[in-house]
């Protein structure tokens, strides 16, 4: 059972053109993220005030910023930052949220359980962005704190997903029969229940990936996330916008970078969802 659902999902995903385009762009992004720092033509931190505000030319493919730094190099390293942030934040969110959700799902129906679920629902109604901004600012403005803040903001959603699925699955027949033949709780969890969560988890995570990137960019833009001179894309846009009177072009490269990556995540998510829809009905 666990193989077929996942396999079906992947097959359906690959069949659709949109998901494929998204996947390609996404893979390109991951490649840049991992190897970006080794591929930079120039040192992304090296300033050269004699060469500021250059438009794209032979030497600097994306031009230079207000401090004369090569924008292409910064975008590449920025990819790595973005990748690192999203993965870490999603890990925090999904692992903690997942564990909490599973625990809650397994709990017997009681007042305590209802209370916890109610609190979680209230947290869910809070806009993700505002929550992230709040937590991040209170922790102190830094990249790592931004990661933690975004991760924490994601927890309620994961808790909900996991608790709902575990709650509904634990009463199903195949679990009861597994218990009756003496399977241990852990085994039931990993072999039987979790595979059923996988499709929903996957679809949601891809979506959250997109939201996380936007959140990090927003936090950096506000000034609560990555601090200069880190080439976080959001921060780059902020710095470029401060100089927009003299050098409006500066906003373009990081914006397009964000656009492409988030777009790819959305395309993949749409492809997955399109495939899942008729099945869910």
Partner 1 sequence: MQFLPGDPVHYLLRGYEAEGQVEALRKEFNLDKPLFTQYYIWITGLLKGNLGFSIFYQQEISGIFIPRFIATIELITLSLILSVILGIPLGIISAVKVGSFEDGLIAIISLIGVSVPVFVFGVILQIIFCIYLDILPTIGRVSFFEDIFDSIKHLILPVLSISLGLLPYVIRNVRSEMLEVIKTDYIRTAWAKGLSPFKVYYKHALRNSLVGTLAVIGINFGMLLGGSVVTELVFQWPGLGTLFIQALMSHDYQLIQILVLVYALLFTLVNFIVDLIYIIIDPRITFEG
Which positions touch partner 1 (CB under 8 A)? 125-130, 133-134, 137-141, 210, 214, 217-218, 221-224, 234, 237, 240-241, 244-245, 248, 251, 255, 258-259, 262-263, 265-267, 270
Closest alpha carbon to 136 in 128, 127, 147: 147
- What minimum distance in Å lies between the beta carbon of 210 and partner 1? 7
C-beta of 164: minimal distance to partner 1 in Å? Answer: 17
Which lies closer to partner 1 via its Cβ, residue 64 or residue 220? 220
Separation of alpha carbons 257 and 247, rounded Å: 18
Provide, rounded to whole angstroms, the least separation between the CB of residue 20 and partner 1: 15
Q: Give me the least distance between CB of 90 and partner 1, in Å please.
A: 18
Q: DSSP letter string over 217-262?
A: HHHHHHTSSS-TTS--HHHHHHHHHHTTTT-GGGGHHHHHHHHHHH
Q: Which is nearer to partner 1, 105 or 250 (CB)?
A: 250
Rounded Cα gap, residues 204 and 215, in angstroms: 16
Q: Is 100 left (phi over 0), alpha (psi -120 to 50) or beta?
A: alpha
Question: Which candidate, 95, 57, 102, 44, places its Cα nearest to that of 230?
Answer: 44
Terminal Cα distance for the chain, rounded = 19
Q: Which is nearer to partner 1, 175 or 222 (CB)?
A: 222
266 token code pair:
């959305």
What is the Cα–Cα distance from 32 to 217, expressed in whole angstroms? 18
Nearer to partner 1, 24 or 244 (CB): 244
Nearer to partner 1, 106 or 249 (CB): 249
Rounded to whole angstroms, how far apart are CA atoms 179 and 186?
11
List Cα–Cα distances, 201 to 74, 190, 196, 208, 260, in angstroms.
Answer: 33, 14, 9, 10, 23
Q: Which one, 81 or 193, has the nearer CB to partner 1?
A: 81
Q: Taking the complex as a whole, how short is the minimal distance between the CB of residue 254 and partner 1, in angstroms?
A: 9
Closest to partner 1 by CB, 5 vs 263, is 263
Neighbours of 258 (CB within 10 A): 20
Q: How far is the CB of 216 from partner 1 (least distance, A)?
A: 9
Query: Smallest distance, Å, CB 213 to partner 1?
Result: 8
């Amino acid at each position: 059972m666990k193989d077929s659902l996942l396999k079906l999902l992947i097959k359906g995903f690959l069949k659709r053109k949109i998901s494929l385009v998204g996947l390609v762009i996404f893979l390109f992004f991951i490649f840049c993220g991992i190897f970006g720092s080794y591929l930079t033509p120039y040192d992304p931190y090296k300033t050269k005030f004699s060469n500021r505000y250059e438009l794209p030319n032979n030497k600097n493919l994306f031009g230079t910023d207000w401090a004369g730094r090569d924008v292409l190099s910064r975008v590449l390293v920025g990819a790595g930052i973005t990748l690192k942030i999203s993965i870490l934040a999603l890990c925090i969110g999904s692992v903690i949220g997942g564990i909490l959700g599973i625990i809650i799902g397994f709990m017997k129906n009681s007042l305590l359980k209802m209370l916890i679920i109610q609190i979680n629902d209230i947290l869910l109604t809070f806009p993700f962005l505002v929550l992230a901004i709040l937590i991040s600012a209170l922790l102190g403005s830094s990249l790592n704190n931004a990661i933690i803040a975004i991760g924490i903001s994601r927890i309620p959603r994961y808790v909900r997903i996991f608790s709902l699925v575990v709650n509904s699955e634990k009463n199903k027949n195949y679990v009861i029969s597994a218990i009756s033949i003496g399977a241990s709780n852990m085994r039931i969890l990993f072999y039987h229940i979790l595979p059923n969560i996988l499709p929903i988890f996957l679809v949601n995570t891809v979506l959250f990936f997109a939201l996380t990137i936007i959140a990090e960019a927003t936090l950096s833009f506000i000034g609560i996330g990555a601090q200069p001179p880190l080439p976080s894309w959001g921060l780059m846009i902020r710095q470029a916008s401060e100089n927009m009177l003299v050098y409006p072009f500066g906003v373009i490269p990081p914006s397009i970078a964000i656009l492409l990556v988030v777009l790819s995540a959305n395309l993949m998510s749409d492809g997955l969802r399109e495939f899942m829809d008729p099945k869910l009905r």
